[in-house]
A and B are shown apart, each in its own frame.
Chain A
Amino acid sequence: MSGAIRSLLVANRGEIAIRIMRSAREMGIRTLAVYSEADRTAAHVRAADTAVLVGPAPSAASYLNMGAILDAARRTGADAIHPGYGFLSENSVFARKVLEAGLIFVGPTPEAIQAMGDKTGARTLMRGAGIPVVPGTDGQVSANDAAAFCASHGFPVLLKACGGGGGKGMRLVGGPGDLPDAFRAASSEASSAFGDARLYVEKYVERPRHVEIQVLADRYGNVVHLGERECSIQRRHQKVVEESPSPALTAGLRQAMAETAVRAARACSYMNAGTVEFLLDASGRFYFLEMNTRLQVEHPITELRTGLDLVALQIRIAQGEELPFTQEGIHWRGHAIECRICAEDVTEGYTPSTGRIVHRRPPQGPGVREDCGVEPGDEVPVWYDPLLSKLCIWAPSRDEAIDRMARALDEYELLGVRTNIPLLRFVMRNSAFRSGRYSTHFLDEEFSAGALDGGSAGLQRAAAAVCALLEDRNHPSIPATRGDSTGPSRGGWKKRRDESYR
């Protein structure tokens, strides 16, 4: 189905739902949100023209509830659905149901989702297209099969979910003793994230870098690439910091990987936006890892460098339009970095942090973009992803981008839940990151809670003074006041006669 979209239902939540709705609004498209009972007053609900309740808090009952979402589309008169990332975005059954309901699915065909969404089937298809893949099992495995693969290929290996990516349902296994527990945990996590508990095994490439290529295809066979993103700064296989271009690529390697990505997209007759992920080993060999048949979290850094709006392009492709440019028409400028701001306490082993956002003051200035999903007063619930916001920076060079991101992180104030901003500041100040020489082991090797910045003595004293004042205001003998507090006047500071408490 194609044709002009007038009403778009966004089957997602948080920052990506808001981001998609922004582009839709710019195109004059009516925006429809869905929400769970835990998200009744969520920011993405407020961002929409109309919002529909689709179920109780657990994802399986709401954001993964195909029937409820399709029903919401029918009731609101939506003529298209954008699935965002995660949730149902790589579920070919859902894509098919959307089409059968006479709606436009803003994404690839169900067949392409199926071909690349089954991670082992995708590897086979890529091998058939002459694209190198990481050694691994050709299909799902039982715990026993996994043990057999490891016995012949050795450790370490990665257990990965057949049903989806994003680090969910993934476990690194160092030796045979760890395999049974890791298999059980990965299976269960995969089931929870994708509704599919199947796992496959991959040989673990030592000290790899994760480099991915953004591709874009219309329904007329035009396929372009929009450059790479380096995503090696990861923790437990979840990306934390991404940058573009990758400091690891030579011009020749970039060209080879980009051409391979376009070939991969053609091999599955791809349409719309997608990302081909590669592992780069220390000797500059690259291997196909997987293809993500959806918009990715880190797409803004590609937008910042190319000046393109990928969501708008997705919508236009879904409407049946031809790509408005050729490969030669795409230009890249400068350097972009994204930091994922997550609700987790990095001083205590990354424990998830739930709560209510009380105070938020984001950074501003040239080259600063933020895609944020929460506002003060919003709850961060336990049911969903900890990603709160993406802070994205553009600057003319990599060094300037790092300096700008460091400045922006220093400006950022977010209170009410713990965030990983301390860790992100650490990354920007780290010399290995600055050198551009890092692998996916970076955080494990470089970061510990002890490495966090405790602030200068002057800063600590200032913080202590504020808390003492706040404490004093709560003292039972003093009525609550809010306002200025000035110390005894020495050295020229005087309280003005007309100053009064607010």
Chain B
Amino acid sequence: MRTYQVKVGEREFTVAVSNGTVIEIDGVPVEAFAVHQSGDHRFTVISSEGTYPVAAVRSGGGYDVVSRGVNFRITTNGERERLRERLPHPAPGAGMTQVRSPMPALVARVEVGPGETVQPGQILVVLEAMKMENDVRSPAGGTVQDVAVAAGATVEKDQLLLTII
């Protein structure tokens, strides 16, 4: 039997699985509980609490799930550990601010250069995604140390844009 800590939104469930079957949730043995699979991503959960269609795909170190119109972002303890191992960027040094892209986007304009002094709230980079512009503003005052991107580049979510010291 293996136990998984499953985080659904703000709630955490402890789910025990044995021989490919859910046998306990939060320490209580399940009764009349079945999970049927009908497609690569489609499941039907039949339990005494009700019937639930659940669609689930693995994504970005967790699962994207939808059931009856409610969308969940679900992580399990195993996934969370793997996600932590995969984090590519080292923690910034003291006094250094790393400005990262909040979303996958295109760099429309870089408004500052290395050595430039910036104020909190000042626009550093303008990103474009899906036809809308988004200003990336400085979270802190300081001096721009490195600019890691140029106009025309595509960036991933969390990709480093520039560093301020």
Q: Determine if A470 and B131 form an interchain contact, defined as CB atoms under 8 angstroms apart.
A: no
Residues of A454-502 whose CB lies within 8 A of B: 454-455, 457-475, 478, 481-488, 490-493, 502
B2 touches A475 (CB 8 A): yes
B37 contact set on A, CB distance < 8 A: 482-485, 502
0/1 per residue, A237-278, Cβ < 8 Å to B? 000000000000000000000000000000000000000000
Instruction: Tell whether A156 is near chain B: CB-to-CB under 8 Å.
Output: no
- B130 cross-chain contacts in A, Cβ below 8 A: 343-344, 352, 354, 382-386
| Contact B31 A487, beta carbon cutoff 8 Å | yes
A472 touches B20 (CB 8 A): yes
| A459 and B70 contact, CB distance less than 8 A | yes
Q: Is A411 an interface residue (CB 8 A)?
A: yes
Q: When the two chains form their complex, are residues A455 and B67 in contact, meaning their CB atoms are under 8 A apart?
A: yes
Chain B residues 26-70 with CB under 8 Å of chain A are 29-37, 39-43, 45, 47-50, 52-59, 63-70
Known: A459-B68, A471-B76. A192 touches B4 (CB 8 A): no
In B96-125, the 8 Å CB interface with A consists of: 102-106, 108-109, 123
Given A416-B57, A467-B74, also A490-B31 (CB < 8 A): yes
State A465–B8 Cα separation when bound (angstroms). Answer: 10
Residues of chain B within 8 A (CB-CB) of A193 are 131
Q: Is there contact, CB below 8 Å, between A471 and B79?
A: yes
- Interface residues of chain A: helix, strand, loop or mixed (majority): mixed
User: Considering the chains assembled together, what is the distance between the CA atoms of A168 and B130 in angstroms?
Assistant: 11
Q: Judging by beta carbons under 8 Å apart, are B31 and A491 in contact?
A: yes
Which residues of A in the span 315-357 have a Cβ within 8 Å of any Cβ on B?
Answer: 343-344, 347, 351-355
Contact A453 B25 (CB under 8 A): no
CB pair A465–B35 under 8 Å, yes or no, is: yes
B93 at the A interface (CB under 8 A):
no
CB-based contact B23/A465 at 8 Å: no
> Is residue B9 contacting chain A, with contact meaning CB distance below 8 A?
yes
Residue in A168, A475, A481, A484 whose CB lies within 8 Å of B36? A484
Tell yes or no: A425 within 8 A of B by CB.
yes
Q: How far is the CA of A37 from the CA of B47 in the complex (A)?
A: 48
Contacting pair B59 A416 (CB below 8 A): yes
B35 touches A466 (CB 8 A): yes
Is the Cβ of A488 less than 8 Å from the Cβ of B48?
A: no
Tell which of B11-19, B83-91, B140-148 binds the partner. B11-19
A358 within 8 A of B: yes
Contact present for B32 and A352 (CB under 8 Å): no
Complexed CA–CA distance, A421 and B39 (Å): 22
Contact call B102/A460, Cβ cutoff below 8 A: no
Contact between chains at B64 and A416 (CB < 8 Å)? yes
Residues of B within 8 Å of A468, CB to CB, are 4, 6, 13, 15, 17, 22, 76
Known contacts A359-B57, A385-B130, A475-B2; is A462 also within 8 Å of B32 by CB? Answer: no
Report how many residues on chain A are interfacial, defined by Cβ distance under 8 Å.
Answer: 73
A1 contacts partner chain B, Cβ-Cβ < 8 Å = no
**Which residues of chain A in 371-402 are interfacial with respect to chain B, using CB atoms and an 8 Å cutoff?**
382-386
Task: Determine, out of A46-54, A75-83, A181-189, the stretch whose residues face the partner at the interface.
Answer: A181-189
Is the CB of A409 closer than 8 A to any CB of chain B? yes
Pick from A189, A343, A421: contact of B71, CB under 8 Å: A421
Is B43 within 8 A of A352, CB to CB? no
| Contacting residues, chain B, for A384 (C-beta < 8 A) | 130-131
Instruction: Determine whether the beta carbon of A463 is less than 8 Å from that of B15.
Output: no
Chain B residues whose CB sits within 8 angstroms of the CB of A455 once the complex forms: 67-68, 70, 72
Q: Which residues in A have their C-beta under 8 angstroms from that of B23?
A: 487-488
A131 within 8 A of B: no
Please give the distance in Å from A462's CB to the nearest CB on chain B: 4
Chain A residues in 8 Å Cβ range of B63? 467, 470
- In the complex, which residue of chain B has the Cβ closest to the Cβ of A483? B37
Q: What residues of chain B lie closer than 8 Å to A471, measured between beta carbons?
A: 4, 6, 76, 78-79
Q: Which residues of A contact B34 (CB under 8 A)?
A: 484-487, 493
A462 touches B4 (CB 8 A): no
Closest to B70 in A: A455
Q: List 8 A-B contacts (CB under 8 A).
A: A168-B132, A188-B108, A358-B41, A416-B57, A455-B67, A467-B6, A470-B63, A487-B31
A415-B56, A461-B13, A468-B17 given; name 10 further pairs at CB < 8 Å: A352-B105, A358-B57, A410-B69, A465-B45, A467-B6, A467-B76, A468-B6, A471-B6, A485-B36, A488-B30
Query: Top 3 closest A-B pairs, CB basis?
Result: A410-B69, A468-B15, A458-B49
Interface, chain B (partner A; CB < 8 A): 2, 4, 6, 8-11, 13, 15, 17, 20-23, 25, 29-37, 39-43, 45, 47-50, 52-59, 63-74, 76, 78-79, 102-106, 108-109, 123, 126, 128-133, 135, 154
**Residue positions of A touching B, CB distance < 8 A:** 168, 181, 185, 188-189, 192-193, 236, 343-344, 347, 351-355, 358-359, 361, 382-386, 409-416, 418-419, 421-422, 425, 453-455, 457-475, 478, 481-488, 490-493, 502
